[in-house]
Amino acid sequence: MNHENFIKCVSELPFGKRINKSLYVFAESLPSRSEKLLGLVEQIKRQFEVGPEFNVIKFSLWEFRISFLSYPNFFEQPHPELQSSITINLATGRIRVHHYQYSDNPPILHRKEALLGCAHPYADEFKSLTDEEEAQGLYRDPKIIGFKRNWESLLEEKGLSYSGHKLLKSNGPFTLPQTEKVPVLRHKTAIVRYKFSRPIQTLLEYGFLTEAASLLDYGCGQGDDVNRLQQMGFNVSAWDPVYYPNGFKESVDIVNLGFVLNVIEDPVERMEVLHEAYKLSSKLLVVSTLIASSSTAQLGRPYKDGILTSRNTFQKYFHQDELERYVEDVLDTSAVAVGLGIFYVFRSPSDQQQFLSNRTKRTINWVELSQRIRPVREKSPRLRRPGIYERNPELLDSFWARMLELGRVPTKDEFDRYDDLRKEVGSTNKAKNLFMQRFGEETLSKAFELRRNDLQVYLALSNFRKQVPFKHLPDELRIDIKTFLGGYKAALEESQALLFSAGNPEVITRLCDDTSFGFLDHQALFIQRSLIQELHPILRIYVGCAEVLYGDLKDVDIVKIHKRSGKVSLLKYDDFEGKVFPELQERIKVNLRRQAIEVFDHRSTERQEVLYFKERYVSKDHPERQRWEEFSNWLKNLGLDLETGYGPYKQELLSFLESRDLAAYQRRRAFSPKWAVRKPSATAFGNRPVSSFPFSTHSRFF
């Protein structure tokens, strides 16, 4: 069954509970006349070993996707809790499993009769309960009632309870299970910022913040982000319950909900805030929270679903996949990871796909590319108009940049100065030919090939998330797909083949072994982040799948591509470029098979890991590579054993350096790292050991 037939069969079901873009049906109530749909469901159950406890099926009405939901006590409880879910992308075979049995606020089910059909023996009883609940006004705000705590709070407010499937007025006040009551001081979590917060940085980096765009910083704290943006001329407003209570909460293009959800200790209020922020955003909602790491448990004591700090502030540390699931469950839409703990929620599917496509595009320097292809290039004597470029360098450069960005000649709507180009050059084809005369036809062919690869990577990664209907793609992407890949159907088939190859350990191992740059050992390939786009498209897809789960890799220094375990590790150091011995700060392990992320805090005073051999990980033309290589050789000559393992910890290295004469560093003239320029002369120290000098001496290295 293809996507079109799937949507047709689901739409023809005579009953079901429709919520936004999905239809919920009790599994055993699927009508026998829906033969094709029944056959598909049974085939999926067998293939993915879906057990009978998954008694509700959620059909997507716009994606080729199906979910199996487990609601224990479906018939016994008036509103059963969701215990587990299995979501399968039928286009790619991607499977996501979530468990809610330990959740403090799991989703619950309403209007059960709609899932059964009117002929079911329990349908009338369930319908009577729904009618009673509607009469009591319990469904006035359907967006926030779908979770246990929210529903219980509403019942408490109305003074209602249940006896089986009967709604009763409580004799006394209905009380929720009591937990420890602590005065949580939320305002103390608002910190003074000396630079933009990471969510705001991403909006600036991706170009979403423009003079024409309006932004609301919802829960802005002390307002440092807002003040700086306003000084820069951006249209920004702010609201905060403590610091900006008189701010305006009005509809804007972009809403930033930055590190707000994690300080709200009440799950009901937390969900209401997320809904309100989403409602106020007309184009984009940015959600960010703190993310749990290996050191989180040490930061406070358990309280509700988070921790309570010594300052009586609450923090809910989400896991990356937990935050994605939470946002998608509450808002019933998709969320895009752009960083650790940062997600974008687009209002328009087209805007989302354009954003995802742009992230896979590399920047092409056509001069550098042409020199790489044709190291010796002579000027062509056959140019019909030798002075045309000299008269219009800015115009032609901008056209060529746009041409290489698209991977094809831009249309009139895709280049702002199209009319100027026609007037000065004659036609877009002449401008294209002029490029080939200056930089070579091979340069253009290679640039277009790179763009085709970028498009393949984008489509493969979009399939990793979910198959996107062609009508939801922006016009630019539709033209690209038809131009480079022969149409959407053929493009999907080709990208899916690449995606499946990225899941094959044999293919990943072979491609890692064949990569000519980076550091390779028997387990993995290590590369600096800047080299990702130079990888084979299948390896780019492999790393890109990790990026789907983690977000943009701009804050990552080293990427470790595991050959066989289906994992990608992301390593962050403090000042990778500037320090001789960068210290490992954080390691993020992305498990592609389980689609889970673990964060490990490596900042340690006792066993701090240090990076050696920096030259191994960068490109051969990196400007510092030779000096780093000389320094590594010099350390070996001093007697530091760097052949076994990856070198000693920082503390052990300090002990080694203290055992050497500091003047030896000055005598090493062949290598002059940044720290050596700032270091006092050798005569100032004589032959005294390093240990007799302040620790700042060692900071030259770290």
Whether 346 and 210 have beta carbons less than 8 Å apart is answered as no
Residue 98: the pLDDT is: 85
Backbone angles phi, psi at 59, to 5 degrees: -95, 130
Residue 702: the pLDDT is: 56
Do 468 and 594 have their domain in common? no
Residue 180: the pLDDT is: 61
Place of tokens 């480079």: 484
| 283 pLDDT above the threshold of 50 | yes
Residue 584: the pLDDT is: 94
Place of tokens 């002929």: 119
Distance of CA 35 to the CA centre of its chain: 39
Q: Which residue has the higher pLDDT, 447 or 278?
A: 278
If you average pLDDT over every residue of the chain, what do you get?
84
Concatenated DSSP letters of 448-462: HHHHHHHHHHHHHHH
Do 526 and 559 have their domain in common? yes
Backbone angles phi, psi at 17, to 5 degrees: -100, 115
| 177 pLDDT above the threshold of 60 | no
Do 201 and 324 have their domain in common? yes
Residue 386: the pLDDT is: 52
Residue 304: the pLDDT is: 84
Do 246 and 291 have their domain in common? yes
Indicate the range of 442-456, 490-504, 665-679 predicted with least confidence. Answer: 665-679
Q: Quote the DSSP letter at residue 412.
A: G
With cut-offs at 50, 70 and 90, classify the pLDDT of residue 700: very low
Helix (H) or strand (E) holding 10: helix 3-11
Do 222 and 134 have their domain in common? no
Is 629 within a domain? Answer: no
Is 365 within a domain? Answer: yes
For 79, the 3-state DSSP assignment is: coil
Residue 24: the pLDDT is: 94
Whether 57 and 68 have beta carbons less than 8 Å apart is answered as yes
For 471, the 3-state DSSP assignment is: helix
CA distance 475 to 321: 31
Indicate the range of 233-242, 320-329, 647-656, 679-688 predicted with least confidence. Answer: 679-688
Do 367 and 490 have their domain in common? yes
| 365 pLDDT above the threshold of 70 | no
With cut-offs at 50, 70 and 90, classify the pLDDT of residue 662: very low
- On the 0-12 / 13-18 / 19+ scale of CB atoms within 10 A, 327 is buried
For residues 685-695, give the mean pLDDT: 34
Place of tokens 């005073």: 605
Q: Which residue has the higher pLDDT, 220 or 605?
A: 220
Q: And the tokens for 235?
A: 């249209």
- On the 0-12 / 13-18 / 19+ scale of CB atoms within 10 A, 321 is middle
| 87 pLDDT above the threshold of 70 | yes
Q: Which residue has the higher pLDDT, 100 or 361?
A: 100
Place of tokens 């299948």: 538
Is 11 within a domain? Answer: yes
Residue 166: the pLDDT is: 92
Residue 681: the pLDDT is: 35
Do 426 and 567 have their domain in common? no
Concatenated DSSP letters of 213-244: -EEEEET-TT-HHHHHHHHTT-EEEEEBTTTB
| 381 pLDDT above the threshold of 70 | no
Residue at a domain's end among 123, 139, 169: 169
For 181, other C-beta atoms within 10 Å of its C-beta total 6
| 355 pLDDT above the threshold of 60 | yes
CA–CA distances in Å: residue 536 to residues 370, 501, 513, 517, 593: 20, 12, 12, 12, 21
Residue 318: the pLDDT is: 93
With cut-offs at 50, 70 and 90, classify the pLDDT of residue 658: confident
Indicate the range of 80-94, 139-153, 389-403, 634-648 predicted with least confidence. Answer: 634-648
Indicate the range of 153-157, 188-192, 344-348, 507-511 predicted with least confidence. Answer: 188-192
Is 626 within a domain? Answer: no
Highest mean pLDDT among 99-113, 147-161, 456-470, 499-513: 499-513
Q: Radius of gyration (Cα) for the chain, nearest Å?
A: 30
For 442, other C-beta atoms within 10 Å of its C-beta total 14
CATH code at position 246: 3.40.50.150
Residue 599 makes CB contacts below 8 A (sequence gap 6+) with 291, 292, 293, 294, 320, 340, 586, 587, 588
Residue 641: the pLDDT is: 65
Residue at a domain's end among 501, 526, 541: 501
For 440, the 3-state DSSP assignment is: coil
Do 337 and 403 have their domain in common? no
| Helices assigned H by DSSP within 136-266 | 148-158, 198-205, 224-231
Do 493 and 368 have their domain in common? yes
| 554 pLDDT above the threshold of 60 | yes
- Residues 70-99, buried b or exposed e (16+ Cβ, 10 A)? bbeebeebbbbbbbbbbbbbbbbebebebe
CA distance 677 to 15: 77
Residue 395 makes CB contacts below 8 A (sequence gap 6+) with 417, 420, 421, 424, 425
CA distance 444 to 63: 37
| 217 pLDDT above the threshold of 50 | yes
Residue 366: the pLDDT is: 54
Helix (H) or strand (E) holding 186: none
Q: And the tokens for 551?
A: 């977000």
Least Cα distance to 52 among 86, 79, 97 occurs for 86
Helix (H) or strand (E) holding 505: helix 505-514
- What is the crossing angle of helices 366-373 and 428-439, to 10°? 50
Whether 316 and 262 have beta carbons less than 8 Å apart is answered as yes
| 669 pLDDT above the threshold of 70 | no
For 250, the 3-state DSSP assignment is: coil
CA distance 274 to 198: 19
Do 304 and 431 have their domain in common? no
CA distance 542 to 562: 10
Q: And the tokens for 646?
A: 């990856």
Is 163 within a domain? Answer: yes
Residue 642: the pLDDT is: 64
Q: Quote the DSSP letter at residue 246.
A: T
Highest mean pLDDT among 58-72, 480-494, 516-530, 634-648: 516-530
Q: And the tokens for 97?
A: 């499993």
- What is the crossing angle of helices 488-502 and 475-485, to 10°? 80
CA–CA distances in Å: residue 47 to residues 29, 37, 51, 56, 500: 21, 15, 11, 18, 17
What amino acid is encoded at 675 in this protein?
Answer: W
Highest mean pLDDT among 497-501, 510-514, 532-536: 510-514
Residue 472 makes CB contacts below 8 A (sequence gap 6+) with 349, 350, 353
For 564, other C-beta atoms within 10 Å of its C-beta total 12
Q: Which residue has the higher pLDDT, 593 or 254?
A: 254
CA distance 339 to 344: 10
Q: How many residues does the chain have?
A: 702
Residue 668: the pLDDT is: 40
Q: Which residue has the higher pLDDT, 264 or 359?
A: 264
Do 195 and 337 have their domain in common? yes
Least Cα distance to 117 among 187, 30, 42, 201 occurs for 30
| 665 pLDDT above the threshold of 60 | no
Residue 403: the pLDDT is: 87
Q: Quote the DSSP letter at residue 297.
A: G
Vertex 610, ends 605 and 614: CA angle to 5°?
160
Q: And the tokens for 128?
A: 């009577």
CA distance 230 to 220: 13
Residue 698: the pLDDT is: 41
Sheet with strand 214-218: strands edge to edge = 235-239, 214-218, 252-258, 281-288, 342-346, 336-339
What amino acid is encoded at 89 in this protein?
Answer: N
Do 328 and 357 have their domain in common? no
- On the 0-12 / 13-18 / 19+ scale of CB atoms within 10 A, 232 is exposed
Q: Which domain holds residue 261?
A: 188-347
Residue at a domain's end among 501, 533, 559: 501
| 7 pLDDT above the threshold of 60 | yes
Q: Kindly provide the residue ranges of all beta strands, DSSP E only, lying in 225-339, ordered along the sequence.
A: 235-239, 252-258, 281-288, 301-303, 306-308, 314-315, 336-339
With cut-offs at 50, 70 and 90, classify the pLDDT of residue 693: very low
CA distance 652 to 196: 37
Is 620 within a domain? Answer: no
Domain count, the chain: 5
With cut-offs at 50, 70 and 90, classify the pLDDT of residue 278: very high
Share of the chain above pLDDT 90, in %: 44
Backbone angles phi, psi at 37, to 5 degrees: -70, -40
Q: Which residue has the higher pLDDT, 549 or 171?
A: 549
Is 678 within a domain? Answer: yes
Is 368 within a domain? Answer: yes
Distance of CA 241 to the CA centre of its chain: 29
